[in-house]
Amino acid sequence: MYDIAVIGGGASGFASAISAKQTNPNINVAIVEKMFRSGKKLLATGNGKCNLSNLDISEKNYHGSINAMQIISNTPDYKEFFTDNLGVLCSFGNEGRKGGIYPRSNSANTVLNALRLKMLSLGIEEICDFEVKEICPEKDGFVLKSKHSQLEAKKIIVACGGYAGTSFGTDGSMLRILKNMGFKTAKICPAVAPLKVNPDEIKGLKGVRIKCNVSAVSGKNILRTESGEMQFNENNLSGICVFNLAYLFGQYEGNLKIRTDLAPDMSKEETINYIKDVKLKRSEFPAEELLTGMFVKSLAVYLVKKVLGRNLNDPVKTISENEIIRLSDTIKNLEFEVTGCSGWQNAQATYGGIHKDCINKNLESVAFKGMYFCGEILDTVGDCGGYNLQWAWSSGIWAGKKCAESLR
């Protein structure tokens, strides 16, 4: 019989176990992990560098029914938790991500090692290769059943993620168990992921990267605009600026477009004047060369073909002023209909999860007292750039603290 069993050996699970034990040192805490070794998904975050938080965090960075900032603002910041508590030195702004906070070592292993050392010093037990197949509420707590064994706990903290990152064990199996127990979930779909478009609409652009403004549009409404480097792939658009719009697919499926401004540093008038000037300079050259001073060749040719629909060998001097205006308008407002979101194997986070109606302010289940939640399994998702890991740490710390306090 454990006092607290944490289901899931990931970022939020580690944080909740440490927080619980530090809040109430007299209790015994165990982490129950389905994989042969815990922390596997954490090692992959930030391309292995562990983008553990961000200096600029606000409500605009989180999406879902649960108010993430209410928890984050009431838990330790990165310095208090990582440096003061775990001994991890931090640095800022790796990989061009403004405000990103990373371990000074630039290695996720540093964070995982520090977490494990802290758990070891606190006497927190890790039980790996234990996949919870059933949660059975009992009079004095809970029984967690795996395929071959079971364990008992007075309280449990569910910290096993959503669907994103199937190779790390987060395959949504726990959400299915919870649904069978009667828990309400918000609509679930991949987030922080590439967005699919019609392959014919981006034919010839595979591998092209461009700094631009990217907007999610539904009908006449601009839902959100991001700036950054976008990449064209065979059947999708990717890049952090696109990843941060992916959660909207779950809300506007079938009525969502991506609108790109391929020249955000130029007004439409400046774009028109530039193209007119190039027309004079390259009047005898073929039309395919009209925009090669503005974009990489494949994108320049793509735009001329898409907008003008003429032979690429036509002389530049034959391009009319109306065609130049149309070309400029497309450069500033190139749209693609979103046909889907990339699969779970390419998603960094899950949009949707246990709905706020199912929990109280302590992240405790309303229906099953003594059952707490933290991390990605809850209905909140953050933007790309350390926001999801910050939610994992903060919600884990909060759930662990409140769970431990309930045992006093």
* Arithmetic mean of pLDDT over the chain: 95
| pLDDT tens per residue, range 193-251 | 999 999 999 999 999 999 999 999 999 999 999 999 999 999 999 999 999 999 999 89
Domains of the chain: 2-189+352-405 (3.50.50.60), 194-342 (no CATH)
Single-letter code of the amino acid located at 182? G
Dihedral sign for Cα 61, 51, 362, 32, please. positive
Nearest to 101 by CA among 305, 350, 315, 393: 393
Say which residues have a Cβ less than 8 Å from residue 169's Cβ, sequence separation at least 6: 33, 34, 35, 40, 41, 160, 161
pLDDT of 170 higher than 70: yes
Nearest to 407 by CA among 25, 8, 11: 25
pLDDT of 23 higher than 90: yes
Look at residue 96 in the predicted model and tell me its pLDDT. 45
pLDDT of 150 higher than 80: yes
Percentage of the chain beyond pLDDT 90 is 90
Q: CA-CA distance, 85 to 145, in Å (whole number)?
A: 33
pTM: 0.91
Look at residue 169 in the predicted model and tell me its pLDDT. 79
Look at residue 261 in the predicted model and tell me its pLDDT. 98
